[in-house]
């Protein structure tokens, strides 16, 4: 069977270091940290009192206030980035076949703020079951894809993937497969998350997953550093327009990169901890390379999952060395979570965008906040510490791994 080619023709980003894809990229190259004390609630009693929040955003500038009241923040983020990506793509919505245009989105948690507020209101009330009629539709994760499809009239495949921190990459792979199998021409795909809430911070604190470096939030996310003590929770969204290559060429679209492969695997090991030897991580990268018909030596850059956790960073580098052998020391590797924090279900989307822009611009975004070498990491690995590096990037691989052992990898290639 002849598979269709799939390209990226539009991007949109809303992140803790920039509210557009252009601002996001500038923040990455400059090595900006998005971490700061939490403003969304009083975090003074929490073990972790900081996060990577979206800043200086007025939702009213993007969404009608009446419509916004029907949406949890994670859906608002999805709508804002989808719109940026659509505009960026130059799609004429009057000229495309809407039944062959779909939305596949990702979110690990969905409407956590809505759920928290509604249940708290009931629990502290007199027992009378008074709930907002929008409680359920605001909370459910799939509503983000529903709202996007309604706005643009896309009647093709429409759903949300939920695979924890791998959700957005899972969504991209699903959209990729629909297009290359000839079942659709266009997808809006990506992911959003808005989990900086009392329940989000408290829950991750309870499982000892978050950094507690309250005296220095901006340096708390430090992947591969000897003193890393957990991830920093982030929020935001990323959207990509995936399009069948001939369809894009026919309308004269600008093309950022080609999506050439995707892999999925399971650790089958533990509900939250990664496989200690990176078994699932190595298998998912190998699967993505096979899918892309590429050899390990073809990859120039890996945007790693790199969450700044003691176990996760080690297992991922073990997997990279297993898959890439000596070539592991020729590539650039970096964790952009050192700047954005961990956007959970949205992480894969903004990290895919970072990988695509690395290809476009020939610049590797850095892993910031490296202070102390850890002997667990081979010093021959180029982890792109503290400063962006110029390099021609023809092929970039992006990893995202989620609680439950869900692993996803995608590979982007410079368009020929």
Residues noted as catalytic: 165
CA atoms within 13 A on the CB side of 27: 24
Element (H, E) at 169: helix 167-180
Strand partners, 262: 410
Q: What pairing do the DSSP bridges indicate for beta strands 257-266 and 6-14?
A: antiparallel
C-beta of residue 333 within 8 angstroms of C-beta of residue 394 = no
Tokens of 95: 């000229």
- The rounded distance, in Å, linking the Cα atoms of 53 and 145 is 23
Look-up of token digits 């399971």: 266
- The rounded distance, in Å, linking the Cα atoms of 250 and 11 is 19
Look-up of token digits 């800043």: 55
Look-up of token digits 């961990």: 342
Strand partners, 103: 158, 188
Element (H, E) at 292: helix 279-292
- The rounded distance, in Å, linking the Cα atoms of 217 and 185 is 43
Which of 264, 268, 274, 275 is closest to 411 using CA atoms? Answer: 264
C-beta of residue 402 within 8 angstroms of C-beta of residue 166 = yes
Give the list of residues 6+ apart from residue 213 with CB closer than 8 angstroms, or none.
Answer: 50, 219, 220, 229
- The rounded distance, in Å, linking the Cα atoms of 350 and 19 is 12
């Amino acid at each position: 069977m002849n598979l269709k080619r799939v390209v990226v023709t539009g991007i949109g980003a809303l992140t803790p270091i920039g509210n557009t894809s252009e601002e996001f990229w500038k923040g990455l190259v400059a090595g900006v940290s998005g971490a700061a004390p939490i403003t969304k609630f009083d975090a003074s009693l929490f073990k972790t009192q900081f996060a990577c929040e979206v800043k200086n955003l007025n939702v009213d500038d993007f969404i009608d206030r009446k419509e916004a009241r029907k949406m949890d923040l994670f859906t608002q983020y999805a709508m804002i980035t989808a719109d940026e990506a659509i505009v960026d793509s130059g799609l004429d919505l009057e000229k495309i076949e809407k039944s062959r245009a779909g939305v596949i989105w990702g979110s690990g948690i969905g409407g956590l703020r809505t759920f928290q507020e509604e249940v708290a209101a009931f629990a502290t009330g007199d027992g009378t079951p008074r709930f907002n009629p929008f409680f359920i539709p605001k909370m459910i994760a799939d509503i983000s894809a529903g709202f996007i499809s309604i706005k643009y009239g896309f009647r093709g495949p429409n759903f949300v993937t939920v695979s924890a921190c791998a959700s957005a990459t899972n969504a991209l792979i699903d959209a990729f497969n629909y297009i290359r199998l000839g079942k659709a021409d266009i997808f809006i795909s990506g992911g959003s998350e808005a989990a900086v809430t009392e329940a989000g911070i408290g829950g991750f604190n309870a499982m000892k997953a978050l950094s507690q470096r309250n005296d220095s939030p901006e340096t708390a996310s430090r992947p591969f550093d000897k003193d890393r003590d957990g991830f920093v929770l982030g929020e935001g969204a990323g959207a990509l327009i995936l399009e069948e290559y001939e369809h894009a060429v026919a309308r004269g679209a600008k093309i950022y990169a080609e999506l050439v492969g995707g892999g999925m695997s399971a650790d089958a090991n533990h509900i939250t901890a990664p496989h200690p030897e990176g078994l699932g991580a190595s298998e998912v990268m190998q699967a993505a390379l096979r899918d892309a018909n590429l050899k390990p030596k073809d990859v120039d850059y890996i945007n790693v999952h790199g969450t700044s956790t003691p176990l996760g960073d080690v297992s991922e580098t073990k997997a990279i060395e297993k898959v890439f052998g000596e070539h592991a020391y020729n590539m650039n590797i970096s964790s952009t979570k050192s700047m954005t924090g961990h956007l959970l279900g949205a992480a894969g989307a903004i990290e895919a965008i970072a990988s695509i822009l690395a290809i476009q611009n020939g610049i590797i975004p850095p892993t910031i906040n490296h202070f102390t070498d850890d002997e667990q990491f081979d010093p021959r690995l180029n982890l792109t510490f503290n400063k962006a590096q110029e390099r021609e990037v023809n092929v970039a691989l992006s990893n995202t791994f989620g609680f439950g052992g869900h692993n996803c990898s995608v590979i982007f290639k410079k368009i020929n």
